[in-house]
Amino acid sequence: MDFKKQKPIYLQIAESLCQRVAAGEWKSGERVPAVREVAVSLGVNPNTVMRSYDYLCTAEIIEPRRGLGYYVADDAAGKILREQRRLFLEEEWPEVLQRMHMLGISLSELKDTE
């Protein structure tokens, strides 16, 4: 994993986990790797991974089960998908549109490349 200089590490780790959940690697109700496992495999401070997991718990992507670990929450994949859609529609797409305007590219030009 390459730590890009854009988001804090703990968010990058959280995002990576989200991507894997969205891709179906773990379904709702399945256990995700333990904090320590992730920390060791990445060579990062376990407290950082803890922060990622806290963040994901708040976002209700995963949930802790005492003594057992962290499990994918209900409809986690759905939540992730919805959030990705929202991000795309509210932030990424307007940016693309702006660039298209700047470059003078029209939507019909894009259709040709499909």
Partner 1 sequence: MIEIKNLDFSYRQIPVFHDISTTFREGCIYGLLGENGVGKTTLLKIISGLLPPSAGTCTVDGLRSFDRNPEMLQQLVFLPDEVILPDRATPESYVLECAPFYPRFDESLFRRLMRELEVDEKRRFKEMSAGQRKKSMIAAILSLGTKYVLLDEPTNGLDIPSKSEFRRIVSSFLREDVTIIISTHQVKDVENLIDPILILSKEEVLLDAGMAEISQKISFTCDAERDESALYSEQVPGGWLQVRPNSGGEETPVNIEALFNAVLKNKNLVKQLFEQKGGNDEQ
Q: Is the CB of 47 or the CB of 98 nearer to partner 1?
A: 47
Number of CB atoms found within 10 A of residue 22's CB = 17
CB of 35 to partner 1, least distance (A): 10
Q: Is the CB of 9 or the CB of 100 nearer to partner 1?
A: 9
CB 62 within 8 A of CB 72: yes
CB of 74 to partner 1, least distance (A): 29
The residue ranges that bind partner 1 (CB under 8 A) are 3, 5-9, 11-12, 36, 39-48, 51
Instruction: Say how far apart CA 106 and CA 51 lie, in whole Å.
Output: 43
Q: Is the CB of 9 or the CB of 81 nearer to partner 1?
A: 9
Instruction: Say how far apart CA 6 and CA 41 lie, in whole Å.
Output: 21
CB of 33 to partner 1, least distance (A): 13
Q: Please provide residue 86's backbone torsions phi and psi, each rounded to the nearest 5 degrees.
A: -60, -45
CB of 107 to partner 1, least distance (A): 29
Q: Is the CB of 38 or the CB of 61 nearer to partner 1?
A: 38
Number of CB atoms found within 10 A of residue 67's CB = 5
